[in-house]
């Protein structure tokens, strides 16, 4: 995804039970996180999600996301938008949108920001799909649509599987295994066995449920664990790299920067 310019697109992924229009702007310093979040939001069953990409360049110029009701972004992007609201002569069409902070180990800071009224909600990068959908419903006040949705004929098991990826119980078991063995160098075949699926089917279903591949999901979890250690300890970078499952400090630093947009050292300084 190109983060240097505004790129709007409509999501059309098959018939839906309802057509509640929801405008969502997604922006994150990690293109991987932004793409995964957009892919997951596009599967929200009872809403016609109209996605647009938001970059820092949009914040520096005149925002044109007139139909965006929700904004998902990292801390730097949301702070820049809030600052723009207070600058005279620099109007922003997102001033009335609701902000959701996508966190990566900085949940305590996000909670404080929510209590201070700076954001409307926060969620971790690896939050379950159901939790993300629930937040969207609550923020746009569309819980009522679930009543209309419940009156519709139930989809067949095969249809539910096609739309929802892994079953909730299977996804929970896979996530629990990943959490318990995060530092180990295990193969995707192990996760496929837990889900009782072939590797190909598991990879497709997992990505459909989470928005990212199993490999990227594991990397995101390791980065989140590393962020906590950087914030709360003074341990050496090399020790932290091994603790969360990276092969060495160099690999850890490159991956951390690609996911979060900053180096591990910069992250540590920011929380000191």
pLDDT digits (tens, 9 = 90+) for 104-163: 877 888 888 888 888 889 988 888 888 888 888 888 874 434 444 434 444 333 333 334
Q: How high is the mean pLDDT of the chain?
A: 76
Q: Where are the domains of the chain?
A: 7-151, 157-211, 216-270
pLDDT band at 212 (very low <50, low <70, confident <90, very high): confident
Helices within the chain (DSSP H only):
31-41, 56-60, 75-85, 107-115, 129-140, 145-151, 157-164, 168-180, 188-195, 199-210, 214-232, 237-243, 249-260, 264-270
- Three-state secondary structure along 160-194? HHHHHCCCHHHHHHHHHHHHHCCCCCCCHHHHHHH
| CATH code given to domain 7-151 | 3.40.50.2300
Give the pLDDT of residue 144: 38
CB 159 within 8 A of CB 146: no
> What fold characterizes domain 216-270?
Arc Repressor Mutant, subunit A (1.10.10)
| 15-30 confidence digits (pLDDT tens) | 334 457 888 888 888 8
One fold for 7-151 and 216-270: no
| pTM, 2 dp | 0.48
Give the pLDDT of residue 237: 93
| 218-236 confidence digits (pLDDT tens) | 998 999 999 999 989 999 9
- Pull the structure tokens for residue 174: 């896979």
Give the number of C-alpha atoms closer than 13 A to the C-alpha of residue 29, restricted to the C-beta side.
17
Give the pLDDT of residue 137: 87
Whether 193 shows a pLDDT value over 50: the answer reads yes
Give the pLDDT of residue 253: 92
Whether 56 shows a pLDDT value over 90: the answer reads no
Whether 166 shows a pLDDT value over 80: the answer reads yes
Whether 63 shows a pLDDT value over 60: the answer reads no
Give the pLDDT of residue 235: 92
């Amino acid at each position: 995804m190109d983060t240097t310019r505004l790129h709007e697109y409509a999501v059309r992924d098959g018939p839906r039970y309802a057509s509640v229009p929801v405008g969502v702007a997604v922006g994150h310093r990690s293109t991987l996180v932004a793409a995964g979040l957009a892919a997951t939001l596009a599967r929200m069953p009872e809403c016609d999600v109209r996605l647009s990409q938001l970059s820092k360049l949009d914040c520096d110029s005149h925002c044109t996301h007139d139909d965006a009701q929700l904004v998902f972004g990292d801390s730097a992007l949301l702070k820049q938008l809030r600052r723009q609201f207070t600058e005279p002569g620099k109007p922003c069409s997102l001033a009335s949108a609701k902000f959701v902070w996508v966190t990566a180990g900085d949940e305590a800071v996000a909670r404080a920001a929510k209590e201070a009224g700076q954001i409307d909600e926060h969620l971790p990068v690896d939050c379950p799909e159901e939790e993300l959908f629930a937040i969207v419903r609550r923020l746009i006040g569309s819980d009522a649509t679930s009543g209309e949705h419940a009156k519709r004929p139930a989809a067949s098991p095969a249809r539910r599987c096609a739309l929802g990826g892994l079953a909730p119980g299977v996804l929970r078991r896979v996530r629990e295994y990943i959490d318990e063995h995060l530092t180990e160098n295990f193969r995707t075949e192990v996760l496929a066995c837990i889900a009782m699926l072939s590797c190909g089917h598991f990879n497709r279903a997992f990505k459909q449920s989470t928005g990212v591949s199993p490999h990227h999901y594991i990397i995101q979890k390791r980065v989140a664990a590393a962020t906590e250690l950087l914030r709360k300890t003074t341990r050496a970078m090399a020790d932290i790299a091994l603790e969360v499952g990276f092969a060495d400090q160099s690999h850890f630093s490159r991956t951390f920067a690609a996911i979060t947009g900053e180096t591990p050292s910069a992250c540590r300084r920011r929380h000191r």
